[in-house]
Amino acid sequence: MLTLTALVKQFGTSRAVDGLSLSVGRGEVFGLLGPNGAGKSTTVHMAVGILEPTAGQVDVGGLGSPTRPSVRARIGVAPQSLSLYELLTGDENLRFFGTIYGMPAAALAARVTWALEFVGLVDRRHDRVETYSGGMKRRLNLAAAILHDPDLVLLDEPTVGVDPQSRNAIFDSLLALKREGKTIVYTTHYMEEAERLCDRVAIMDHGKLLALDTVHGLTQTHGGPPTLILRTPNGEERIETRDPLAELNRQAAARGAAMPAEFEVATPTLEQVFLHLTGRSIRD
Amino acid sequence: MAAVLAIALKDLKLLFRVRAAFFFTMVWPLLVAVVFGSLFGGGNRGPSRIAIAVTDEDRTTASTAFVDGLAAREGFDVLRTTDTEARDLVRRGRRIGAILVPKGFGAASEHLFYGASPKVELRIDPARQVETSMLQGFILEQGAKRMQTLFDDPGNGEARVAGMLADVRKAPAGAIAGQAALQNMLTSLDTYLAEQKRADAAGAGASGARPKAAGAGWQPIEIAVSSIERHREGPANGYQITFPQGMQWGILGCMMSFAVSLAVERSRGTLTRLLMSPAPSWALLAGKGLACYLAILIVQTVLMAIGATFFGVRPSSWLLLGLALVVVPIGFVGIMMFVASLGTTEQGSAGAGWAIMMPMSMLGGGMVPLAVMPEWMQSVSAISPVKWMIVAYEGAIWRGFSLAEMAVPCAILVTIGVVAFALGARRFHATLA
C-alpha cells in the first residue's frame, strides 16, 4: 500500500531522512518508532506528498506519487499538531474537511455522524472545538483523518500530550480501524503503543532506518535475552538467561532454603531494542 | 470549486466569530465615520438662527404684534423674558442680543409722520457686528410694516388716517412742524383709501371673490423669491468625507485579519492539513481571496447603507457606487495576499501589514482628508491604494464622476490587486517549498 524507496530529505546541511526504504502491506498496521527528531514526521510529510523528497520515490497503492491529488484523496492524515479550527464546532470542522476531500454533499452528513460516533464525540458535535479537552481534540483530529474513508491512514503521534483516559479512547478507535482492515502507518515514541498495535515496526534514528520487523522479531533479534529477577531481602538480583525456567530450577537447587520466594521474568521490550540499537533511551 | 467555496465560507465564519475582528471591521469603522463626521460639521442642519431675548413692557396690541412679528421671522430664535433676565442672558453669551419694547410703544404706533416715533431698545454684544446690523435691519423692516398695513386693509387704514387727521386738526397751530402740509397729505390719503375701499367692495360684489384694488396691499418694494439649487463642488456634509475614510478602516481590518489568518493556519497546522488534502494549493489561496473579497464587500455595503440611511451619504450615482463597491475589494484582496506572504508567523504578518498600510493610509487620505492636504502631498498620495479607494467612493458620492473618470481609480485598484496577488501567491509558494 505504501512503498518508500531510498528516500532522502535534506534541509540545508541537515539530512532529516537518509536513504529510507520500506514497504507497508495492505491492511497492515505499521509502526514508525523513533525519538523526537528521528525523521518520522518528515517521512510522513513525504508519504503524503507535501514535501518533495530530495532523492528517492514514494508510491501509494501502486498509483504513483502522492503529489497527485487523486492519489492524495486515498490517504487520511492526522498530523501531530492539532490541525483544527477552534472557533468552528466539531461538526463544522468535519464538514469542512470532508468538502476539501471532495466528498459529495449527500454522503457528507451521514459520514460526519459516523466519524463523530467512531471517536465518541457525537454529543459534542455542535460545540466549538475551543471548548474541547486536549484528548477530545485529538479524537476529532483522528475523525478528520478517517472521515473520507481512506485506504491508507497516516497517524503522526496521535496520542501525544493527552491524558490516559483519552489515550485509551484513541487506542480503542485505532484497534477498531485495525479490525476493519485499514492500512495504518503509525508514528510514535511510545513503545508500549507500538507493541500493542503494530504488526511490524520500523525503528528510526537520525533519519536512518535501524531495524524493521515484527515486535517479536525485533525483541528476539535486538532485545537481548530475558531477565530472571529474584527479589531477596537485600534487593533484586537480575540474571540474563535464554531459558528462564531452567535457570530458575538451577538457582533453586543451588540456594536450597535460601531461595527467594519472589521472582519475575522480564522479557525484552522495544525500549531495550532501541537502547541496544542506539545506545540511548528513546526519551533521551 | 467546491473546495474554494468551502474555504471561503469557513474563513468568513471565523472572521465574524472573532469578536475583536468583528469590532474592528464593522463597528470601529462606523464609529470613526460617525464621530469624525460630526466633528467635521455633520449633516445639513441649515443655517443657525440668531438667538435673541425680547421684553415687552408695553403689552399693547401694537407691541404684541411687533414681538410676534419677530418670533415668526425665520432666522430668529426669540425668547420672551424680563428685561433683567434678557440682559443677563446676553452678558453670559446665551443670547446674541436683547430687545426691549418700552411702555408707550403702542401709543406711539398710532400715528405716522408726526409726534414721537415708537421706540425699541436693542442691547447687543459690540463684538457681534454682523448680527447687530441684521437685527437693526429687521427692526426697521418691522417699523416699515406699520406703514404698509395702511394699504393692506384700506378699511382699517382709513380709520387710522381719520384718527391722525383729527389729531392734527385739533393740535394748536405750530405744535406740529409742517402742520398744514401734513393735514393736506392726510386728507389726500384719507380720500385715496376711501376710493380703494369702494373699489374693493365693487370687485367683491361682481365675482364673490375679493380682488385687490390696484393700490391695495401696496408695499415699498416687493421681493420675489425663487429657488435655484446651488451646484455643489464639495461634499454636502462631513459624513460624505468620513464614511469613505471609515470604510477604509473596515477594509484594512478585513485585509489584516485575512493576512494574519494565513499565518495562523501555518502555526496551528491547519495549513499543513489543507496542503495534505487533494485540493490544490491555488484553491486554498483562491478561497482565502474570495473570503476576503466577500468580507470587504459586506463591510463596505453595510457601512454605505448605514451612511445613506442615517447620515445623508447619498451617492450622486448609484451605478458608480456599485462599481466602486465591486472593484475596491479586488485591490485590497491582492494586497492582503502580498502582506500574508511577508510573514510566516502571526506577529510577522501583522507587523509587516501595519508597517505597509499605516503609511499608505496616511498618504492616501485615510486619516487626513485628501482635500486638506498640501499639493505636493496630494501628488505623492497617488502611490497609495487607499487614495484610489477613497477617490472611487468620493467620485460616486459627491465628486460627480463620469464613468470615464471612475474608470481611472478602478483600473488602478484592479492593477494593484492583480499584481500584488500574483507576487503574494508566488512568495507564499516559495515559503512552502
pLDDT of residue B230: 46
CB B331 within 8 A of CB B409: no
Instruction: Write out chain A residues lying below 8 Å of B275, CB-based.
Output: 50
- Smallest CA-to-CA distance from A158 within A73, A49, A82 is with A82
The predicted-structure confidence for B68-126, as pLDDT tens digits, reads as follows 888 887 777 889 999 999 988 888 888 888 889 889 888 887 777 777 778 888 888 77
Can you tell me the distance from the alpha carbon of B393 to that of B415, in angstroms, rounded to the nearest whole number?
Answer: 18
Q: Quick one: average pLDDT of A178-202?
A: 87
pLDDT of residue B8: 92
CB A147 within 8 A of CB A83: no
For chain A, give every domain's residue range: 2-220, 225-267
pLDDT of residue A197: 86
pLDDT of residue B197: 77
Instruction: Write out chain A residues lying below 8 Å of B279, CB-based.
Output: 69, 100-102
Instruction: Write out chain B residues lying below 8 Å of A102, CB-based.
Output: 2-3, 278-279
CB contact under 8 A, A88 and B273: no
Architecture of the domain spanning A2-220: 3-Layer(aba) Sandwich (3.40)
Q: Of B84-88, B155-159, B242-246, B300-304, which gets the smallest average pLDDT? A: B155-159
CB contact under 8 A, B3 and A50: no
Residue B139 burial by Cβ neighbours in a 10 Å radius (0-12, 13-18, 19+): middle
Q: Within 10 Å of residue B157's Cβ, how many Cβ atoms? A: 23
Q: Which residues of A231-240 are buried (b: 16+ CB within 10 A; e: fewer)?
A: eeeeeeeebe
| Top-confidence range, B66-75, B254-263, B409-418 | B409-418
CA distance B257 to chain A (A): 15
Can you tell me the distance from the alpha carbon of A195 to that of A215, in angstroms, rounded to the nearest whole number?
Answer: 6
Q: Within 10 Å of residue B359's Cβ, how many Cβ atoms? A: 13
Phi, psi of A115 (to 5 degrees): -65, -40
The predicted-structure confidence for B287-312, as pLDDT tens digits, reads as follows 999 999 999 999 999 999 999 898 88
Can you tell me the distance from the alpha carbon of B258 to that of B264, in angstroms, rounded to the nearest whole number?
Answer: 10
- Smallest CA-to-CA distance from A158 within B175, A149, A169 is with A169
CB contact under 8 A, B269 and A49: no
Q: Which residue has the higher pLDDT, B431 or A282?
A: B431
Q: Which residue has the higher pLDDT, A97 or B92?
A: A97
pLDDT grade for A126, boundaries at 50, 70 and 90: very high
Q: How many residues does chain B have?
A: 433
Instruction: Write out chain B residues lying below 8 Å of A92, CB-based.
Output: 10, 13
- Cell numbers found for residue B428: 507564499
Q: Which residue of B has its CA nearest to A144?
A: B273
Q: Which residue of B has its CA nearest to A54?
A: B433
- Smallest CA-to-CA distance from A199 within A22, A32, A29 is with A29
The predicted-structure confidence for A224-277, as pLDDT tens digits, reads as follows 888 889 988 888 888 888 888 898 899 889 888 888 888 888 888 888 888 888
Q: Is A69 on the interface with B (CB under 8 A)?
A: yes
Interface test with B, best of A71, A72, A83 (most B CBs within 10 A): A83
- Smallest CA-to-CA distance from B243 within B25, B33, B29, B394 is with B33
- Cell numbers found for residue B391: 477617490
Share of chain A above pLDDT 70, in %: 99
CB contact under 8 A, B277 and A72: yes
CB contact under 8 A, B272 and A81: yes
CB contact under 8 A, A97 and B279: no
Instruction: Write out chain A residues lying below 8 Å of B272, CB-based.
Output: 45, 50, 79, 81, 83
pLDDT of residue B229: 47
Q: How many CA atoms lie within 13 A of A235 on its CB side?
A: 2
pLDDT of residue B419: 96
Q: Which residue has the higher pLDDT, B8 or B228?
A: B8
Q: Is A85 on the interface with B (CB under 8 A)?
A: yes
CA distance B233 to chain A (A): 48
Tell me the angle at which helices B239-268 and B28-39 cross, rounded to the nearest 10 degrees: 160
Considering only CB atoms, which residues of chain B are within 8 Å of chain A?
Answer: 2-3, 6-7, 10, 13-14, 17-18, 268-270, 272-280, 433
Q: Which residue of A has its CA nearest to B433?
A: A51
Containing H/E element for B76? strand B76-80
The predicted-structure confidence for B229-240, as pLDDT tens digits, reads as follows 445 567 777 888
Q: Of B160-164, B261-265, B410-414, which gets the smallest average pLDDT? A: B160-164
CA distance A100 to chain B (A): 5
Interface test with B, best of A50, A71, A149 (most B CBs within 10 A): A50
pLDDT grade for B42, boundaries at 50, 70 and 90: low
Instruction: Write out chain B residues lying below 8 Å of A85, CB-based.
Output: 10, 14, 270
Q: Which residue has the higher pLDDT, B47 or A218?
A: A218
pLDDT of residue B41: 64
* Beta strands across the sheet bearing A14-24: A14-24, A2-11, A55-60
CB contact under 8 A, B268 and A72: no
pLDDT of residue B313: 85
Q: Using the 8-state DSSP alphabet, how is residue B26 labeled? A: I
pLDDT of residue A242: 84
Q: Which residue of A has its CA nearest to B16?
A: A87
Interface test with A, best of B268, B276, B288, B429 (most A CBs within 10 A): B276
Instruction: Write out chain A residues lying below 8 Å of B2, CB-based.
Output: 99, 102
Can you tell me the distance from the alpha carbon of B243 to that of B116, in angstroms, rounded to the nearest whole number?
Answer: 60
Can you tell me the distance from the alpha carbon of A5 to that of A53, in angstroms, rounded to the nearest whole number?
Answer: 10
pLDDT at B227 over 50: no
Instruction: Write out chain B residues lying below 8 Å of A99, CB-based.
Output: 2-3, 6
CB contact under 8 A, B268 and A100: no
| Top-confidence range, A127-141, B105-119, B359-373 | A127-141
Instruction: Write out chain B residues lying below 8 Å of A155, CB-based.
Output: none
Q: Which of B270, B277, B279 sits opposite A85 (nearest CB)?
A: B270
- Cell numbers found for residue B195: 376710493
The yes/no answer to whether this complex scores an ipTM above 0.90 is: no
Q: Quick one: average pLDDT of A154-164?
A: 85
CB contact under 8 A, B278 and A72: yes
Q: Quick one: average pLDDT of A11-39?
A: 90
Q: Quick one: average pLDDT of A207-216?
A: 90
Phi, psi of B63 (to 5 degrees): -70, -40
pLDDT grade for B228, boundaries at 50, 70 and 90: very low
**If you average pLDDT over every residue of chain B, what do you get?**
82
Instruction: Write out chain B residues lying below 8 Å of A69, CB-based.
Output: 278-280
pLDDT grade for B420, boundaries at 50, 70 and 90: very high
Q: Which of B14, B18, B278 sits opposite A101 (nearest CB)?
A: B278
Can you tell me the distance from the alpha carbon of A23 to that of A62, in angstroms, rounded to the nearest whole number?
Answer: 11
Q: Quick one: average pLDDT of A73-101?
A: 92
Q: Which residue of A has its CA nearest to B4?
A: A100
Share of chain B above pLDDT 90, in %: 20
pLDDT of residue A84: 92
Can you tell me the distance from the alpha carbon of A60 to that of A18, in angstroms, rounded to the nearest whole number?
Answer: 20
pLDDT at B223 over 70: no
Rg (Cα) of chain A, in Å, rounded? 22
Can you tell me the distance from the alpha carbon of A182 to that of A173, in angstroms, rounded to the nearest whole number?
Answer: 12
Q: Quick one: average pLDDT of B360-382?
A: 81
CB contact under 8 A, B14 and A84: no
Q: Can you list the alpha helix ranges (DSSP code H) found in B311-402? A: 318-342, 346-364, 375-380, 385-397
pTM of the entire predicted model: 0.68
**If you average pLDDT over every residue of chain A, what do you get?**
88
- Cell numbers found for residue B148: 404698509
CB contact under 8 A, A83 and B269: yes
